[in-house]
Structures are given as C-alpha cells and as structure tokens.
Structure 1
C-alpha cells in the first residue's frame, strides 16, 4: 500500500504541496465569507438585489481582467513569487475591511481588493505550480492544487455555519476571522523556493501574444465556445431552492459539490498525465452537458442534489486539467502569461454567460438557462475534438508561424 501511495504521488515536489496548501487556506478564507455576503448586504446594510449584482459584477470583472496582465508582468520580470505574495496579502486583508463596512460601497471596495488580489496571484501561482514538477507530472501538480482549492471551498462554508449558527458569532466577526486562513495561505507561498532568472535572460523576454503558438489560441477558442454557456453557479443554487430545497439542504448540497470537486482534482490530473489532457477534459465537458440537461428537465430535489454533486466532477477536472493543458503549449518563461490569459478567457466568457443566463432566467424561463449552457457545451466539445490534438506534446510547436 505504501509503495502504491508513493508511486501515486511520485514526481511532486515540496513546492507543489506548499502551493496546494496556499490554495486550501485562501479558499477557506474566501468561502467563509462568500455565502454570507448577500445576507450581510441585504440584512445588515439594507442593500437590494441590484446592489448585490453590481458588487459581484465588478468583483468578477476585476479578477478576470487582472489575471492576464498579472501573468504578463510575472513573465516579463521572471519573478512569480513576489507578485503572488502581493495577491495573497491583498485578499487576506480585504476580508476584515468588508466586515467593518457600514455602507454597501465599503463592501464593494473590499470585494474589489479581494478579487484584485485573487486575479494578481492566480497566474504567477499557476506558473510556479507548473515549474514545481517536470512536464510528465504537470497534471498531478495542478490536480493537487485543485484538491487544496476545492477542499477549502468545502470547508469554508461549513466553518461559517459553525461560527454563525452553532457558536452564534456576530456576522461581522466572520469577516474578521477570515483573515487568519488568508494569512496562512500567504505564509505557504512565502515558504516556496523560487530560483530567480538571470538578468540577461530577463532582458530578452518578449511577452507579446505573437510568442504563443497558433495551437494555443485554437485551444482557447474551444474553451471560449464552451465557456459562453458556463454561467454562474448561482443559477444552480437558485434552481435547487426554486424546486423546494430548504436553505440548509441547499448549503449541504453545495458543500457536497465542493467536496466531490476536491476529491476528483488530483485523480483527474494524474489521469491526464497518462491518458492525455484533451481526453480527460472532453470527459469534463460531457459531464457538464449531462448536468445542465438534468437541471433543465428534472423537478425532483433528490435528483437535482445528485446532479449538483455530479457537477463537482466537472469542476474538479476542468480546474486541474484545463490549466495544465494551457501550460503545455507555452515556453517556461511565458507560462504565467499563457495560464493567465487562459484564466482571463474562462472568466470573461463566464461573465458573458452569467449576463445572458440572468436575462434568460428573468425573460424566457429558468429551464432556458440550462438548455443554453448544454448547447454550448456540445459546441465546445466538438471544437475541442477538432482544434486540439489528443497528444499536445507530440504536435506542439513554439513557432507562431507553425
């Protein structure tokens, strides 16, 4: 058993585990406050639904836009760790700033800092994950990070429920306490060992999009076509409550979704190293398609709960394998930019999908949101098959003209 375990985790480094722990702690910090943020805005600060949409819209847009520029800066300087540390620190200190807010504008400022930090740290952290192992084990490294991230997303809401409902903490104290796991995430990155690039090498770095091969952009096109239908998880949560699930049941289902995503992340990365990333990613697209069709057609709470948990398989696979595949296409010195622009495309397409989904939810019908998502999942799957080879390493070329 010990030999099997050692072989399963073979190829990972100390940095791989530290970066996974940083994602665990930072996501605990974020998910402690995310489920109670609407309650804080509406019940404590008396804001309405439009304000919630504005706050989250600005937060989402900030994170998405910053990721690509953060990756380019990291590649230009050839220093990942300082930029990642700045992002982790910003996110950590933003939580108590939200807690002391007395007007919704203060919450918006705190959320802006939180997502600015998340967008700043994401690409350089992912570049450090890719650099922590050799290419043959890259899927495992991203899978391990996905395990930490999704485990944090599972534990954070449960911790918030414990503090708020069981221990009867004032809601503001949840935001104050969230700085603790946030700073632990910062500490994990502080312990990562990064080897600085030589000065003469930095001078030659060109982070122009022309440095990326056409194959990379074709991959991003396939991901974008899929992402146009990948709207916010809020619609899954709303649909769960709409068909009769209680708030407690909905929160438990959401926690189960995050737990499944955590448990599948590392196996998905491990399999992508052996079976090919495109094949595993295609399976994730298929799971998404089946889940969204199920949400569109089922009125049963138990089945919806099972589908939501199944959706965790998609989330865990997509997070780990999608970024690993993006990093496969680019040179090591451009890795933060490559993963950063991938994250930006995913985020911006998700923002478009959520805006379209909101309009469909209000004006066409709840079912239409999920049929729309399923349709683009099918389109994205076809695009992935046509545009992305099964073995990227065999066909990859870093010559943009290839």
Structure 2
C-alpha cells in the first residue's frame, strides 16, 4: 500500500505536548472557576462591596492577565524559551488562591486577584506558543481547540466542585479559595512534563522583538478586536444579573457551569471548522452570539430565559477563545508567535478593563440593563470592523512583516 493510499488517523496530529498543555488548562481552570462564580457574591455579600468595586476588581485582574501576556510573550520570544516562563505563571496563580480566602476587605481580594492573574498572564502567551509549535500549521486551530476543551471543561467542573463543597459537604465559602490551590498545583506539574523543542531562527545572534516587525494585517485584526472588546465587560455582571433576578447561589453556579460546558463542547469543533473554512467567518459567529446574549440580558427578567441565554453565551466563549488566538497566531512568523499572541491578549485585557469600569458605573448609577446594551452596541461595531478590516486568510507572515 502506498503512502498516499494509507488512510490517516483523524487524531494522528495530537502530540504529547498538546495533551499535557490541555490537561494543564483543565486543572488551572478548575482552580480558577471554583471561585470565579462565587467571587462577586463573596465581595458583595461577605465583604459588602459595591457593583463598582466588583467591576474594578475583576477589570483590573483580567486586564493584568492580558496586559502581562504582551510582556511575557516578548520575553519568551527574546529568550526563545517558553516553558520556564509558563511554569512561573502557573505557580504564582496557584499560590494566590488561598490568599483570597483570608481577606477581610476588598483591597486584599484585589491584591490576591492581581497576583493570580499576573501568574495567568505570565503563563498564557508562552503556553500558546508551545501549543502552536507542537503541531503543523494546518492543525493549529484544532490544537487550540483541544486546549480550549481542557480550559472550558475545567471551567465547567470547577463550579460543580464548588457546589459540592458548599452545599453537599457544607464547607464555609472561604474554604473554596483554600482548596483551589491543589488543582492549580496539578496544572504546574503538567507543564513541568512538557518537552520544549529549541526554535530555529536562521543567522540571528539575538531576537529583536519590536512592534514594527508585525504585518499590517495583524494590526487590523487587533483593531477589529479592540472595537469589539471595548464593550466586552467582565462575566461577573452576567453572574450578578442572574442573582439579581432571583436565582439562588446554587442555581447561579449551576447555570455558570452549564455556560462553561457549552464553551468546552464547542471549542474543538470551532477550531476544526476554522482550519477547514477559515477563521474569520467562525469568529464572526462568536461576535453574533455575544450580541444576541447581551441583548437578551438587557431585555428579559425571566430566570429561565436568562439561564438559557447564559448557557447559549458559552458558544461565544468557546469559539472566541480558541479561534481568536489561532487567528492572531496566523498573522505572525514563528519566532514572534508568543509576542503576537501576547499583544493580542493585551489588547483584549486593556479594553476589558475599560469595559468593566464603565459597566460598573452603569450598574451603580444608570441601570443594570445599561451594562448589556452597552456591550451589544460594541458587538455590532466590532462585527463591522471584522468584516471590513480583516482579511479572510492570513498571508505568509514571514514575508509580510512590516519593515
């Protein structure tokens, strides 16, 4: 039988690294999402903080994660090392979780969340570069989709574990933050087992990573992402709105778990379709899902409809996370890949910080519905930007870098 006639196994592209990194994301998100759906409630009910403080804490922490990715991506490319930086990030994120549990006021939560998301930011771009370099280009969307499955499945299991501890085993809410350390440690151990292959960069004694080296198409993609992201505030407001209309703590956590399950289930198919059909169209679908969900949150106060919309919103989460990063990776050459993904994430983080601060002010001083109308408006603007500015397929990034 000839090589051409030998059928290829559908999952032959999966490498040891892609599995380990998907498991790292699984455990890291179990650790994070055990506490994410209870954090707004912990802040408002246990520590008596306002909606503006919730937006500030979550906006700063998420922005820190994404902004630091720009630096960690640059450092990773400059050193041409991914794994050591990722390991530091996973360890910092793990040890920050118990600090939240001992907090007596919201500034301590802010400090601990800052350290947690600092670690998440340090690890993300080098980890994504490891994923990108672990498979051939034609399988890149599937590789990010597999990592997205791990990430979002962890985000599904984390809230369920929190419910088990809070309700079935009657743990105090602060113990959720202490126990979250252990899956975070498992994530660190998964990355410790990753084998990093050396990057080959021809005839360069050092890598000069600067913003001018990125192609024009990469910058137009970031602009479209920014137009969308300025309305993309923290998911904490969806959690607060779900509770505001009358859902119990357990019901809210279970709805949030359903949202993450949908995100996990769609991540791999979305990556697969983006490899086959192109990233732009699949990414546009995620923007439209966001628009529908936010309009629904603005217009209804039915618990059942809100639950359905929140779970439906998981389609956005799963598609945007896997396909958005893969698309950013397409626009840059391999030796700048961590930087390219890092600055993409930095863009998202800066705009999410602005969006979350604005959303907190709208929540406290205008209306809760205004938060979601604001997000819906910029979902329309971002969709128009994606259609008008971004090419359907990236050209060869090594040939198209700006000089």
TM-score after normalising by structure 1 = 0.92
Matches within 5 A, 1:158-237: 158-197=160-199, 203-237=205-239
What's the offset of the Cα at 1:53? 4.8
Aligned with 2:279 (options 273, 277, 280):
277
CA 1:101–1:379: 2 relative to 1, 3 Å: closer
Aligned with 2:322 (options 304, 307, 320):
320
What's the offset of the Cα at 1:47? 4.9
CA distance in 1, matches of 2:178, 2:359: 33
2:309 matched residue in structure 1: 307
- Unaligned ranges ≥5, structure 1: 1-5
CA distance in 2, matches of 1:135, 1:199: 17
Q: Figure out how many residues of one structure are paired with residues of the other and give that number.
A: 395
CA 1:315–1:396: 2 relative to 1, 3 Å: farther
Matches within 5 A, 1:3-402: 7-41=9-43, 46-49=47-50, 52-101=54-103, 104-197=106-199, 203-393=205-395, 397-401=399-403
1:3 matched residue in structure 2: none
CA 1:279–1:297: 2 relative to 1, 3 Å: same
CA 1:103–1:378: 2 relative to 1, 3 Å: closer
Instruction: Deviation per CA, 1:328-359: give whole Å up to 9, x if none.
Output: 01110100000001011111111111222222
CA contact (8 A) 1:150 1:259 kept: yes
CA distance in 1, matches of 2:396, 2:63: 36
CA 1:256–1:279: 2 relative to 1, 3 Å: same
CA contact (8 A) 2:59 2:234 kept: no
CA distance in 2, matches of 1:92, 1:202: 37
Instruction: Deviation per CA, 1:304-340: give whole Å up to 9, x if none.
Output: 2111111100110000000000000111010000000
CA contact (8 A) 1:231 1:373 kept: yes
CA distance in 1, matches of 2:249, 2:176: 19
CA 1:193–1:384: 2 relative to 1, 3 Å: same
2:5 matched residue in structure 1: none
CA distance in 2, matches of 1:218, 1:10: 34
CA 1:394–1:61: 2 relative to 1, 3 Å: closer
CA contact (8 A) 1:331 1:398 kept: no
Which is worse superposed, 149-158 or 79-88? 149-158
CA distance in 2, matches of 1:30, 1:201: 42
CA distance in 2, matches of 1:390, 1:38: 39
Which is worse superposed, 198-207 or 326-335? 198-207
CA contact (8 A) 1:389 1:395 kept: no
CA distance in 2, matches of 1:220, 1:244: 38
CA 1:251–1:13: 2 relative to 1, 3 Å: same
CA distance in 2, matches of 1:315, 1:75: 28
CA contact (8 A) 1:229 1:350 kept: yes
C-alpha RMSD of the superposition:
2.2
Q: Counterpart of 1:203 in 2: which secondary structure? A: coil
TM-score after normalising by structure 2 = 0.91
CA distance in 2, matches of 1:19, 1:248: 31
CA 1:391–1:201: 2 relative to 1, 3 Å: same
- Unaligned ranges ≥5, structure 2: 1-7
Which is worse superposed, 230-239 or 254-263? 230-239
CA contact (8 A) 1:76 1:202 kept: no
CA contact (8 A) 2:56 2:360 kept: no
CA distance in 1, matches of 2:174, 2:371: 34
CA contact (8 A) 1:12 1:140 kept: no
